Chain A
Amino acid sequence: MERVIAFFYCQNTPSSTETDRQMLEKKYGKNIRLFPIPCSGRLEPVHILRALESFTDAAYLITCPEGTCRYFEGNLRARKRVIRAQQFITAIGLEKERAGIYMRSAGNTKKLSEIVEELFEIASKLPPSPVFRYSEREV
C-alpha cells in the first residue's frame, strides 16, 4: 500500500521556493503533500490531526534551528504543539511517530528536498495508517 506523507514547512527552510515545491511534487507525485507556512509557529495541533484524519499516514513539521526563528519563538511553540497532537493520537492507539517535528540544528543547511527525502524514508517504514484500513482517503 502506498504511503502519503504530509510536510508542513517553514518558508525559511533553505531552497523551499515555489519552484522547489513543484519539483518535489513532481518527483513524489501523490505520495507527498507539501504545506509551506510563513513560520512553523503558525501550525496548530488541529492541522496535524486533520491531515492524519483525512489523507496522510504521517505528518511532519520542518522548522528553523532553535534560536533562529525570524519570529523569535515560533519553532519553540511549534514543538509543543506537535507534542500536543502526539498526545491525542497516542490516546486512540496511533503511533506517536505519525506526528513529528524536524528542527534543523544550527549549521544544518540541508535543502528542503534533502529533509523531505530523509523523513520520507523514515515515514515509509511505518505501517499504513489504520485510519484508512476500512475507509478511503478524503483527498
Chain B
Amino acid sequence: MITAEQKPIDEIRKMIAPYKRILVLGCASCVAECAAGGEKETAMLASTLRMAARMNQEDVVIQEKTLERQCVKDFVILLDDILDNYDAILSLGCGAGVQAVADMYEDIPVIPALNTEFIGETKDQGLWVENCLGCGDCMLYYFGGVCPLARCSKHLLNGPCGGSKDGRCEVNPDIPCAWQLIIDRLSRFNALDRLEEIYPPKDWSKKQGKGPRKIIREDQQK
C-alpha cells in the first residue's frame, strides 16, 4: 500500500488561507490503513481546522467527506453533486489521489494535506515499513522474497557488503541486513544457487526517464 503522513497543521493552514469554503476530503484506502487520511483522520483534521478558524475569527466553512478511493474516477465522481458548495478541496489522499481529483475538477484547487511516503507494509500496529520501490522489474524470486533495492541501505543487487554485523545493517543498526535475510531465506529453500549469477545494475532507463509510467490492460477496458 501507499503510506503517508499528515503535513504540519501550520503548513496546511497557510495553504488553505485564501479559501472560504473548504471540503476536507479523506480516502478510505491505503491512507486509512496507515492512519493518515481515513475517515477518523479526516474528522480530526477538519475539527482542528474549524477550531483554529473560530479562534481567529475567520469566516470559513470547513466540511468533511471520505471517498472509498480518491485515485479511482468511479468514486471521485461522487463529488459532482456537492462541489458547487466549495472553493477548495483539502485532500487527505496520497499524491495519486490528489492528482486524480484535480484532474477531474479543473476549476477547483486541490490541496494536499499529506506527505506521501512510500510503498510498504503494515508491520505491526502503528508501524509501517518500506519494502518496494516499484521498479517495474520485480526480482523478488531471485532474492527469496526480500527486495535488496528497497531494504538494503546500499541497494546492492550483489551483496552482502562487508558491513553486515550480527544480521544488522552497518548503515542503520536498527534494521536487519537485507542480505542476511536473503541468504537465510534462500538457504531455507535450498536455493542459494540463485545467487551464483551476477546481477547487472538495473536499467532504469527502461522504466524511468520517459515520464509517468502506465499500465494498459485491454481485458480490463471497456
Using known A-B contacts A53-B50, A88-B9, determine if residue A93 contacts B44 with beta carbons closer than 8 Å.
no
B48 engages A130 (CB within 8 Å): no
Interface size class of B (residues with CB under 8 A): 10 to 19
Question: How distant is the Cα of A135 from the Cα of B51 in the complex, in angstroms?
Answer: 10
What is the distance, in angstroms, from B144's C-beta to the closest C-beta of chain A?
Answer: 35
- B47 interface hit (Cβ, 8 Å): yes
Residues of B within 8 A of A91 (CB): 8-10, 48
Most chain A beta-carbon contacts within 10 A, residue among B9, B10, B13, B57: B9
- B216 interface hit (Cβ, 8 Å): no
- A49 interface hit (Cβ, 8 Å): yes
A53 engages B8 (CB within 8 Å): no
Question: How distant is the Cα of A130 from the Cα of B54 in the complex, in angstroms?
Answer: 8
Those of A43-99 within 8 Å (CB) of chain B: 44-46, 49-50, 52-53, 88-89, 91-94
Question: How distant is the Cα of A53 from the Cα of B48 in the complex, in angstroms?
Answer: 8
A92 engages B51 (CB within 8 Å): yes
B43 engages A92 (CB within 8 Å): no
Using known A-B contacts A44-B40, A133-B55, A135-B54, determine if residue A92 contacts B48 with beta carbons closer than 8 Å.
yes
Selected contact of A49 from candidates B8, B10, B51, B57, CB within 8 Å = B51
* A: number of interface residues (CB 8 Å): 19
A49 engages B47 (CB within 8 Å): yes
A130 engages B43 (CB within 8 Å): no
Residues of A within 8 A of B10 (CB): 91
- Which residue from chain A places its CB closest to the CB of B42 in the assembled complex? A46
B47 engages A53 (CB within 8 Å): yes
Residues of B within 8 A of A49 (CB): 43-44, 47-48, 51
- A131 interface hit (Cβ, 8 Å): yes
Those of B1-54 within 8 Å (CB) of chain A: 8-10, 13, 40, 43-44, 47-48, 50-52, 54
B9 engages A46 (CB within 8 Å): no
- Which residue from chain B places its CB closest to the CB of A91 in the assembled complex? B9
Selected contact of B57 from candidates A52, A89, A93, A134, CB within 8 Å = A134
Using known A-B contacts A88-B9, A91-B8, A92-B9, determine if residue A134 contacts B54 with beta carbons closer than 8 Å.
yes
A93 engages B40 (CB within 8 Å): no
- Which residue from chain A places its CB closest to the CB of B8 in the assembled complex? A91
What is the distance, in angstroms, from A81's C-beta to the closest C-beta of chain B?
Answer: 11
Selected contact of A46 from candidates B13, B44, B50, CB within 8 Å = B44
Using known A-B contacts A46-B43, A134-B57, determine if residue A89 contacts B8 with beta carbons closer than 8 Å.
no
What are 21 A-B contacts with C-beta separation under 8 Å? Answer: A46-B40, A46-B44, A49-B44, A49-B47, A50-B47, A52-B51, A53-B50, A53-B54, A88-B9, A89-B51, A91-B10, A92-B13, A92-B51, A92-B52, A93-B52, A93-B55, A94-B51, A94-B55, A131-B54, A131-B55, A133-B55
